[in-house]
Amino acid sequence: MSGFSHIDERGRARMVDVSAKPETRRRAAASGTVRMRPETRALIDRQEIAKGDVFAVARVAGILAAKQTAGLIPMCHPLLLTDVRVDLETTEEGVRIEASVATTGRTGAEMEALTAVSVAALTVYDMCKAVDTTMTLTEIRLLHKEGGKSDRRIVNGQAPEQP
Amino acid sequence: MSGFSHIDERGRARMVDVSAKPETRRRAAASGTVRMRPETRALIDRQEIAKGDVFAVARVAGILAAKQTAGLIPMCHPLLLTDVRVDLETTEEGVRIEASVATTGRTGAEMEALTAVSVAALTVYDMCKAVDTTMTLTEIRLLHKEGGKSDRRIVNGQAPEQP
Amino acid sequence: MSGFSHIDERGRARMVDVSAKPETRRRAAASGTVRMRPETRALIDRQEIAKGDVFAVARVAGILAAKQTAGLIPMCHPLLLTDVRVDLETTEEGVRIEASVATTGRTGAEMEALTAVSVAALTVYDMCKAVDTTMTLTEIRLLHKEGGKSDRRIVNGQAPEQP
Amino acid sequence: MSGFSHIDERGRARMVDVSAKPETRRRAAASGTVRMRPETRALIDRQEIAKGDVFAVARVAGILAAKQTAGLIPMCHPLLLTDVRVDLETTEEGVRIEASVATTGRTGAEMEALTAVSVAALTVYDMCKAVDTTMTLTEIRLLHKEGGKSDRRIVNGQAPEQP
Amino acid sequence: MSGFSHIDERGRARMVDVSAKPETRRRAAASGTVRMRPETRALIDRQEIAKGDVFAVARVAGILAAKQTAGLIPMCHPLLLTDVRVDLETTEEGVRIEASVATTGRTGAEMEALTAVSVAALTVYDMCKAVDTTMTLTEIRLLHKEGGKSDRRIVNGQAPEQP
Amino acid sequence: MSGFSHIDERGRARMVDVSAKPETRRRAAASGTVRMRPETRALIDRQEIAKGDVFAVARVAGILAAKQTAGLIPMCHPLLLTDVRVDLETTEEGVRIEASVATTGRTGAEMEALTAVSVAALTVYDMCKAVDTTMTLTEIRLLHKEGGKSDRRIVNGQAPEQP
C-alpha cells in the first residue's frame, strides 16, 4: 500500500515480520569518506606512521557500533554478528572507510555495515575537529551484500554480476 | 606534538581534559542528505501527506542518538542536552535532515548534532532500502556552533557573520 | 523449594537455565492503558488527525524498548525478535496500547511485549504531562502467548481455547 | 498550537527547550501495583522472610532503569540523579512499589520515578510469571513532585497542599 | 603473523570470523575475589544474616553485565546466553565471586563469565567503599569452559580432566 | 545501622542521597594488572612495536566503559566525566593498566577509574586468550582520589601525603 515494507497500510511504522524466513549466512559491505583539508589528511598520515591511534579508535568505534545497530535504528532486527571488520585509509579526499559485516540470520546486515562506517566516520571527525571544521561525511553507501533471497546482489559503483 | 588534541605526545588517544573549562550555553547545528531515486522520494512525499511515519521514526531515532553520542564516539565528553530538534524534508536530491542541539556544558555539542543527523539518515535508509538500493548518505556536516571560547563560529557553506 | 523458578533453593535470584530447550517460533501480545482526562484525549484525537506524532513517537519507543528487554529485566534471557508491532488508539478511558512480539527462541517473548507496552505508555505520559498530571498507567497485562511447551495459552480477558 | 509542549506548530515531536531554565533541586515520587493471585503474594511473603531476593532484584532493576530513562523515553531530557530509592511491599492486591528520585537539574524527575516503578513492576512480573499468568501492572502514577516553577505540586490521591 | 587471532597481518584489530563455525552448547565459569579488611568482611557477614542485599545487588549487576559483554569488550561476538548464575560468599580474604554462563553459539562464553565476575566485584567494592578504601579486586580468572572444538578444557588451578 | 551507606536500616540497598552536596572538581586514579605468561607478554611487546592495536583497543574500551559506569554499577551516581585517560604498559608480570578520571560533581569518580581499568583488562584478556588461557586479572585497586570532603586522600601502596 505505502510502497514501503516498514509502513503498514494505515501509515504506521513497523518492523518487517521475518519470523518465517530461514536463517542463512549473509555478508554486507559498505563504505564512506570523511572529506577534509589536505593539511588535516597529512597530519593523519604523519601520525599513522608513528602509532596509528586515529584509525585504531575509529575502527573500534565502528565495530562496537555495528553490534548496537538494532538499538539505534528503530525498525532494524537484532542480529548476532559473526564477523565485523572496519578499515580506514587516507585518500586524495581525506579518509576512506570500508566495513564488512557477516551474520547468520533472517535479514541482511547492510544496516550494520552502514552504521559501522558512519560511526567510524563520526569518530574520525571528532578526533580531527580541533584542527579542521570543514570536514564532511560523504558517499556513505552499500558496496555489496550476499546471502538471503537475492544472493550476491552487487550495488553502487561495483559492476553487477547478474546478467 | 601530534597536532591533534585527542592524541598525546606519545601517539595515544585520550579525551581532552575540559575539567578547568567553565560551563557555558552552547548550540550546534548540522545537516545531511540521503540521496535517492526520484521515485523513492516521490513515495515518501505521497506517504508523508497521509501520515508522516518515515520522518517521524527518523526524527525519534535522531533525537535518541544525540543523547547516546558519548557512548558511541569514544573520545566525546558526556553532555546534558537541554534541547534537540531534528527536521526532515524532501528535496530534489532526496531527503535533507537538519539537527539542532543545545547544552550547558564544558564542550560544544557538534558531535551530538552530527550523530543525530547520521542516525536519522541511516533510519531513512533502513525504511526505504526495500525499494531503493542506490541510496547514499552525503554532505553530513556542521552548519554552525555557538557558545564556548569561539562564540558564533559559522562554518560550511554559510556566510560567516563575523566581520 | 521457593516456588519460583527464578529463585534457587537458597533464596538466590538466578536466570532459569534454558540451555536444553529447543528453539521454537513464539509470539506474545500484551496491552495496557494510559488513563487520562477526556480533554487530554481530545487533544490527542485532534492532533492525530493532523500528523500523528504522539502515537508515532510512542510506537518507536515501544519497539526500541522491546529490543532492550534483557538489558532492563535482570533475569530475562536475550532473544532475537523477528517482529515487533505496537498500536495505539484513543478509547473512552484515554489511550490503549497493544504490542505483539515474535521470536524464534528458547523462551517466550511475553516480557518483551509487556516492556513495549509499558515504555510506549510512559512515552504517551511524557508527551502529555504538561497538560495533565492525573494520568495513570493501568491494566498492563499479557493478552496471549503462542509457541513453546504450552502452545496457544490464552490468558487475561480472552476466552481460553483449551478445554 | 497543538496544545502539547512536545509537539510543535507543524505537528512534529521535539524535546522541550529547557536551555534557559535554571538548575534547581527537584524530587519526584511515583507508585504502582502488580496485582496478583493471593497464592502468589503468599509465596513472595514466605520467600521474603527467608531471603528477600524478588524484592532485591526488582529494586536494583528499578534503580538502574531510573538512570536510563532518557535513553528509553525519546523526548526526555538527560538528568544527573542524586538519589533513587525503590521500595516494595506486599499488600492485599499483590505487590506495591514506590520510587522516589532526586536531581539538581532543569526539568523535573517524574519520568525517572515512573520508569523506576514500571521496570521494578515488570521485574516482579518476570520473576513470578511461572506461577501466575494473571498478573496485571496497574495504578502506575505520580505521587508528588517538588522543585522547579511549581514547587510542591501534589497530585494523584494525595490532598493538594496548594489552596 | 601477529600471533593473535584478533590482530590481522597488518596489525589491525578485528573480530575473529566465526561465520563458518557450527552452533554448539557451551558453558564457562570464572571466579574472582574482592580482598578486604576483616572488619569489612565481618560487616557483610552480619548484614547477610539479616537481609543479604550486598550480595543480591552484586549478583544482579553481574548477571546484567554478562548480557552486555559484547557492548563492553570490542572484539567480542554477541551471544544469546541461556543461563547465567553468579554466587558470592565471604572467605578469609574477603568476598569470593563465582559466575557460570551457558550459551548455544559459535564462540565460547568465557568473556561473559569474566565480565560477570568483574562487575559483581566492582559492585561489592562500590557498596563497601565508604568503610574500606583498601579493597582490591584480585585473582579474576577462568575456571573452566566446555563445548566447542576443545571440549572440557579445564584451566587455572583445577586439575585437568583430560589424560 | 548496617554500617554501609548503601544499605538502609532495614537492610535494603539504596543510592546514597548526594542532593545536598556541592559540586566540586574531583579526580581518581586506579590501576590493575593482567598477569600472563612471559611468551604472551613478549608477543604483545613485538606487536606493539609495529602497530599498537592491543593497547589501543583496550584503551578505547576502558574510556567508553568509564562513561558507562552508572549503567553497570547499580548504586553508582551518574557523573559527567571531564577527562578520562587509560594507559597500558608491559611489565614483568604481564600488562599493567592505569586509569585517571576527572569530573565536577557531587561524588567521587573512583568507580569510574576502577571500571575503566577492569574493562581495559578484560579487553586485553579477550585479545590474548587464544594464545594464553592462564591469564589472571589482579591487583585492581584505587591509587588515589582528590576533591570532595576528604581532599587528596592517598591510598593503596602510595605514601599518604597527609601527616
Q: A19: which chain C residues are within 8 Å (Cβ-Cβ)?
A: 25, 27, 82-83, 102-104
Confidence tier at F157 by pLDDT (50, 70, 90): very low
Query: What pLDDT band is residue E156 in, cutting at 50, 70 and 90?
Result: low
Note whether F149 contacts E: Cβ–Cβ < 8 A. Answer: no
Single out the residue of E30, E51, E50, E54 nearest to residue E41, CA to CA: E54
Which residues of D are less than 8 Å from C125 in CB distance? 111, 114
Model confidence at D84, in pLDDT bands (50, 70, 90)?
very high
- What is the mean pLDDT of the segment spanning B153-162? 47
CB contact under 8 A, E57 and D60: yes
Task: Give E2's pLDDT tier (boundaries 50, 70, 90).
Answer: low
Least confident of B89-103, C146-160, D138-152, F61-75: C146-160
Find residue E104's DSSP bridge partners: E25
- Nearest-CA distance from B68 to chain C in Å? 14
Q: How confident is the model at residue F155 (pLDDT cuts 50, 70, 90)?
A: low
Q: Is A104 on the interface with C (CB under 8 A)?
A: no
pLDDT-derived band at A8, boundaries 50, 70, 90:
confident
The per-residue pLDDT for D31 is: 98
**Are the beta carbons of A61 and F60 separated by less than 8 Å?**
yes
Which residue has better confidence, E14 or D52? Answer: E14
Mean of the per-residue pLDDT values of chain C: 87
- Give the C-alpha separation, A21 to A124, whole Å: 37
ipTM confidence score: 0.91
Question: Which CATH number do you get for residue D105?
Answer: 3.30.70.640
F-chain CB neighbours of E115 within 8 Å are 122
pLDDT in tens, D59-83: 999 999 999 999 999 999 999 999 9
Tell whether F83 is within 8 A of chain B (Cβ): yes
Take residue D3 and report the three cell numbers written for it.
496544545
**E156 within some domain:** no
The chains found to touch C (3+ Cβ pairs under 8 angstroms) are A, B, D, E
Residue C53 burial (CB count, 10 A): 27
What's the rounded mean pLDDT across residues E109-129? 96
Contacts of E130 in chain F (CB under 8 A): 4-6, 16
Q: Is E52 on the interface with D (CB under 8 A)?
A: yes
Local confidence band at B14 (pLDDT 50, 70, 90 cut-offs): confident
Q: Do B56 and C53 touch (CB under 8 A)?
A: yes
Chain E residue with the nearest C-alpha to that of A83: E17
Percentage of chain B modeled with pLDDT above 90: 69
Tell me, yes or no, whether C13 lies in a domain: no
Return the residue in F26, F51, F60, F83 with the most chain B beta carbons within 10 A, the one to mutate for interface testing: F83
Average pLDDT over residues A29-56: 84
Res. D122 pLDDT band, cuts 50 70 90: very high
Q: Which of A125, A142, A143 is nearest to A134 (CA)?
A: A125
Residues in chain E closer than 8 A to F56 (CB atoms):
13
Closest residue on chain D to B26 (Cα): D19
Return the DSSP state at D77: P
Please indicate, yes or no, if residue E44 is contained in any of the structural domains: yes
In this predicted structure, what is the pLDDT of residue B158? Answer: 46
Q: At how many degrees (to 10) do helices A53-67 and F53-67 cross?
A: 50
Q: Searching chain D, which residue's CA lies closest to the CA of residue B64? A: D74
What is the extent of the structural domain holding A75?
A: 33-147
Residue C55 has pLDDT above 50, yes or no: yes
Interface probe, candidates C51, C55, C60, C64, chain B, greatest B C-beta count within 10 A = C60
Which of B26, B72, B80 is most worth mutating to test chain D (most D CB atoms within 10 A of its CB)?
B80
pLDDT digits (tens, 9 = 90+) for A52-102: 588 999 999 999 999 999 999 999 999 999 999 999 999 999 999 999 999
Q: How confident is the model at residue D158 (pLDDT cuts 50, 70, 90)?
A: very low
Is E50's pLDDT higher than 70? Answer: no
Helix (H, G, I), strand (E, B), or coil: what is residue D110?
helix
D15: in domain: no
D5 contacts chain B (CB < 8 A): no
Chains in contact with F, where contact means 3 or more Cβ–Cβ distances below 8 Å, are A, B, D, E
pLDDT score at C156? 54
User: Which residues of F have a catalytic role annotated?
Assistant: 126
DSSP secondary structure letter of residue E129: T
- Domain total for chain A? 1
pLDDT of residue E52: 54
Three-state SS for chain B is: CCCCCCECCCCCECCCCCCCCCCEEEEEEEEEEEECCHHHHHHHHHHHHHCCHHHHHHHHHHHHHHHCHHHHCCCCCCCCEEEEEEEEEECCCEEEEEEEEEEEECCCCHHHHHHHHHHHHHHHHHHHCCCCCCCEEEEEEEEEEECCCCCCEECCCCCCCCC
- Check CB contact under 8 Å for B19 and F82: yes
D14 versus A140: the higher-pLDDT residue is A140
Distance separating alpha carbons of residues B30 and B139, to the nearest angstrom:
10
- Please indicate, yes or no, if residue C19 is contained in any of the structural domains: no
Residue E28 lies in a domain: yes
Q: Is C67 on the interface with A (CB under 8 A)?
A: yes
Mean pLDDT for chain A overall = 87
Question: How close, in Å, is residue A132 to chain F by CA atoms?
Answer: 22
- The Cα–Cα gap between A55 and F53 comes to 10
State how far Cα D68 lies from the chain centre.
12
Three-state DSSP class for residue E39? helix
Work out the pLDDT band at C4, boundaries 50, 70, 90. confident
pLDDT in tens, B47-81: 754 445 889 999 999 999 999 999 999 999 999 99
F15 in E contact zone (CB under 8 Å): no
At C159 the pLDDT is 40
Picking from C5, C9, C10, C12 by the largest number of E CB atoms within 10 A of its own CB, the best residue to mutate is C12
Average pLDDT value for chain F: 87
For residue C32, what pLDDT is reported?
98
pLDDT in the model for residue D76: 96
In this predicted structure, the answer to whether residue B111 has a pLDDT above a threshold of 70 is yes
CA distance D155 to D141: 9
Report the pLDDT averaged over residues E140-158: 72
How many Å lie between the alpha carbon of F52 and the closest alpha carbon of chain B? 9
- Sequence letter at residue E88: L
Interface test with C, best of A6, A15, A72 (most C CBs within 10 A): A15
Give the integer Cα–Cα distance in Å for D93 and D114: 20
Question: Is the minimum CB–CB distance between C52 and chain A shorter than 8 Å?
Answer: yes
B61 touches chain C (CB under 8 A): yes
Write out pLDDT tens, residues F53-96: 889 999 999 999 999 999 999 999 999 999 999 999 999 999 99
Output A163 or D76, whichever has higher pLDDT.
D76
Segments in D6-109 forming alpha helices (H): 38-50, 53-67, 69-72
Which residue type does C20 have?
A: A
Average pLDDT, chain D: 87
Which among B51, B61, B64 has the least Cβ separation from residue C52?
B51
Proportion of chain A above pLDDT 70, given as a percent: 87
Res B140 pLDDT > 80: yes
Asked if F84 is an interface residue toward chain B (Cβ–Cβ < 8 A), one would say: yes
Task: Please give the pLDDT value at position B149.
Answer: 66
pLDDT score recorded for residue B90: 93
Residue B161 has a pLDDT of 43
**Residues of A with Cβ-Cβ distance to C82 under 8 angstroms:** 17-19, 21, 77, 106
| pLDDT attached to residue D159 | 40
Helix (H, G, I), strand (E, B), or coil: what is residue E116? helix
- Nearest CA to CA, how far is C13 from chain E (Å)? 8
pLDDT of residue E150: 58
Please name which of B47, B33, B41, B59 lies closest in space to residue B123, comparing C-alpha atoms: B59
Pairwise CB contact (< 8 Å): A80 & C85: no
Task: Give the model confidence (pLDDT) of D18-47 as tens digits.
Answer: 999 999 999 999 999 999 999 999 988 887
pLDDT at E64 over 90: yes
Give E10→chain D minimum CA distance, Å.
38
Q: Is the pLDDT of residue E49 over 60?
A: no
Residue D161: band (very low, low, confident or very high) from pLDDT cuts 50, 70, 90? very low
- More reliable by pLDDT, E53 or F20: F20
Report the candidate in A138, C106, A17, A48 with the shortest Cα–Cα distance to residue B2: A48
**Residue B37 clears pLDDT 90, i.e. is over it:** yes
Question: Which residues in D lie closer than 8 A to residue B99 (C-beta atoms)?
Answer: none
Confidence tier at B162 by pLDDT (50, 70, 90): very low
Instruction: Give the residue-averaged pLDDT of F14-40.
Output: 94
Rounded to a whole number of angstroms, the distance from the CA of C53 to the nearest CA of chain D is 6
- Does residue E93 belong to any structural domain of this protein? yes
In the annotation, is A126 catalytic?
Answer: yes
C-alpha cell at D79: 538528568
Residue B151 lies in a domain: no
